Amino acid sequence: MSKQMIRLSKRAIRELTNSKPVLYIITSNNGTNIYTGTAKRGELKDTLATHFYGQENHVPGARVKIFELSSIKDARDKAKEIIEQEQPKYNLA
């Protein structure tokens, strides 16, 4: 499982490659998990773009941890586990 971390900005998202399903965790400026999600192979850029509102080019202080997994099922299973443990603010119950 490969991992990378980026600033949550439109520019950083445009530069991403996405050849595998991913689990992503959006963290606040203090490192707290505020949202956990998944994206199918080839859909990461579009999925992350949904987290922007209006004309904002970045979410102040937010970072995204991206983990590539071998299948979308693995990504969803891991996301479910993380959401249950950490209860991120923007993952609705």
Domain boundaries, the chain: 3-86
What pLDDT, on a 0 to 100 scale, did the predictor assign at position 80?
Answer: 98
The answer on pLDDT for 27 being more than 90 is yes
Alpha carbon 39 to its chain centroid, in Å, reads 8
Give the C-alpha distances (Å, rounded to integers) separating 61 from 12, 35, 68: 14, 14, 23
Q: Which whole number is the average pLDDT over 11-29?
A: 92
Per-residue pLDDT, 30:
93
Task: Give the span between the Cα atoms of 85 and 80, in whole angstroms.
Answer: 9
* Mean pLDDT on 78-91: 96
Domain boundaries 3-86, corresponding CATH code: 3.40.1440.10
Asked whether 13 and 49 are in contact (CB, 8 A), the reply is yes
Q: What is the pTM of this model?
A: 0.90
